[in-house]
Structure formats: structure tokens, C-alpha cells
Structure 1
Amino acid sequence: MMEVALVMGSISDWPVVKQTAEMLESLGVSYDKHVISAHRMPEQLQTFGAQAKGEHYQVIIAAAGGAAHLPGMMAANTTLPVIGIPVQTKALNGVDSLLSMVQMPSGVPVATVAIGDAGAKNAAILAAQIIALHNDTVNQKLVQFRTNQTQEAIKSNDQLN
């Protein structure tokens, strides 16, 4: 049983989504990955979204650039929480992707993280936080992650001397 579905609109999104996968792995969260284009694979998108809960996913993370309809369309086809990662684009640096995700209409939410690398990592952390509500092992890994993060920040003071 996979806990998270990582869905990207194109294989070109993989370098960003790979960071999400790596963070999920470090937090002990299982996932699988899929390329499902909102524009080129609408039937597959609908089927995937409709069946995701039955496949025992707990969260869907959807990454897309440009018009970035994938997270919203995924959210329209499931009751699972959907986290959108705006992928940076050449034309508008990902702002177009971000705006496509954060302007969802009432009733079809997409939790949206930052554009690019920080967002890719934060999407994994957010998904882990959702899963940790009912999974003590993942919760402990999150606690350790936060402790390590704090220690690294404290140690960075040594570089000021």
C-alpha cells in the first residue's frame, strides 16, 4: 500500500519531483510516481483521481508547470488531500503555475507550496504531516527532522566567528 501518489504533468517535471521523492523516503513515507498530463491524458487523469482512494493513497502530490491544471483537476476527481507543486517555467518563472493552483474555486482545494525546490521538499513534509496524524513512525521521523534542522541552524552560528 502506497501512502502518497506523486503525479507530474510531464517527465520534464521529474527533477523537481525527485526532491519530493527523496524527502518522502527520508521521512519513511511510501510513494509511487506517475506521469499524467491534464491536457494530453484527461481520461487517465479522471480514472486515476476517481480510483486513488480505493488504491489506499492518503495524499496526492501533483506537480505541474505553465497552465498547471493537474493539481486542480486531480482535486476535482478525488476527496483525498491534494498538494500542488508549481514547477518553474521559462516564460514566467513559475508564477503562472503558482497562480493556477492557488486560485482554485471554493469547494475544490489544492494545498499549494512554493515554486520549485523549496516547494518540492515542503510538499513531502506536508504530506508526511498529514500521514503522521495516524502513523507514529512517520511522526517520530518528522520530530527528528525538525530537531536536526534546529541543530543545524544553531551550529551555523559557529560560522560567524
Structure 2
Amino acid sequence: MAKKVLILMGSDSDLKIMNEAAKALTALDVETEMRISSAHRVPDKTMGLAREAKANGFGAIIAGAGLAAHLPGVVAACTTLPVIGVPIQGGAIQGLDALYAIVQMPKGIPVATVAINGAFNAGLLAAQILATGDDALAERLLTYREQLATEVKAKDEKLQTIGVDAYLSN
């Protein structure tokens, strides 16, 4: 049975960003479940989701958080599944606080971290983690990469054909 990815966020204000992770995973035919569960407001619920994730068929967890960004670390403390943190832009320093909070986890409790608002890449990273045990998913990831390469080659061909000024005016 294929593993799923649990996508967590502390607030519905993070939903637009975190939905990008779901889009990446859906495009690769990976099942997801999205939940709102604050590390601060409902800690028991959050820790329960993390502790039960593996038993519920999840192979990785993506956790998005802004400001103090405790959600990814709390989740990682409660599971041995890979946790990918997504710092959410906001607050006085536009997500740098969240980035630092997620990337600076203490020794022994790792959280993989993507760019601020980098939920799409978090989805791809989760898929790559799952693909280590799923050859069909690995093949879909390879196809995705080949599509990216085809798009870049087409853009370069267009640039070489019409020149910089015409390309920029399109």
C-alpha cells in the first residue's frame, strides 16, 4: 500500500501556501491529508496526529508555520517519520523568524526545511522520500523532471529564435 503525506498547518491563514504541497503531491498521484492543528492552541491534538501518523499510513509529514514556528519541531518530537518544515512568510520580519526557528532544531530532532513559502518543494521532497520505497513513484518523479527539462529547452529555443526584447515583451 502506498504511503500518504500528512500536511499540517497551525492556522487556516496558512492554507493557501500549504495547498501548494498538496498540488505537488496530487500531480504525482500521492495521497494527502490536510489538517489544521496548532502546536500552541491544541497541543494534545497536534501531538496525537504526529504520534498516530505512521499507524495511519503516512510516510512523511509536512508542517507549515509562521512566526515562532513551533509546529514542525513539536511534530518531529512526536514521531520518527520524516518531517519537512515550511516557514510561512509573515510578521515583522517576513518569515525569517519562522525560517530560523524551523532550521535551528536541537541535535537529535531533525526537521528538513524548505524556503519561506516553499510548500511546493516540500511536497516534492516528501514524494522523493516516499519514492525510496516506491518504484512507481520514483518513475513519476523522473517523468516530472523530464517535463521540467523540456520546458526549459523550449524557453531557450524561443529566446534564441526571437531575441531578448521580443521574449520580454510577450
TM-score normalised by structure 2 residue count: 0.90
Q: Which residue of 2 aligns with 1:9?
A: 10
- Aligned length in residues: 159
| Alpha-carbon separation, structure 1, partners of 2:147 and 2:115 | 22
Q: In structure 2, what residue type is equivalent to 1:86?
A: P
Gaps of 5+ in 1: none
- Distance in 1 between the 2:94 and 2:153 partners? 33
Larger displacement relative to structure 2 (1-10 or 92-101): 1-10
Cα distance, 1:2 vs structure 2: 5.6
* Number of the residue aligned with 1:121: 120
Cα deviation 1:49-94 (Å, max 9, x = unaligned): 1111111210000001110000000000001000000010131111
CA distance in 1, matches of 2:52, 2:21: 22
* SS at structure 1 position matched to 2:90: coil
- Counterpart for residue 166 of structure 2: none
RMSD, aligned α-carbons: 1.1
Match of 1:83 in 2: 84
- Whichever residue aligns with residue 133 of structure 2, its letter is H
Which deviates further from its counterpart, 134-143 or 3-12?
134-143
1:111 — aligned with what? 112
Equivalent residue for 2:44?
43
Q: Which stretches in structure 2 are left out of the alignment for 5+ residues?
A: 164-170
**Aligned equivalents of 1:148 and 1:50: distance in 2?**
37
Q: CA deviation at 1:155?
A: 1.1
1:147 corresponds to: 146
SS of 1:58 mapped into structure 2:
strand
The residue type paired with residue 72 of structure 2 is: P
Query: What do residues 30-63 of structure 1 show as CA deviations (whole Å, max 9, x unaligned)?
Result: 1101001011011111111111111121000000
Moved over 3 A (4+): none
Distance in 1 between the 2:25 and 2:101 partners? 25
Larger Rg: 2
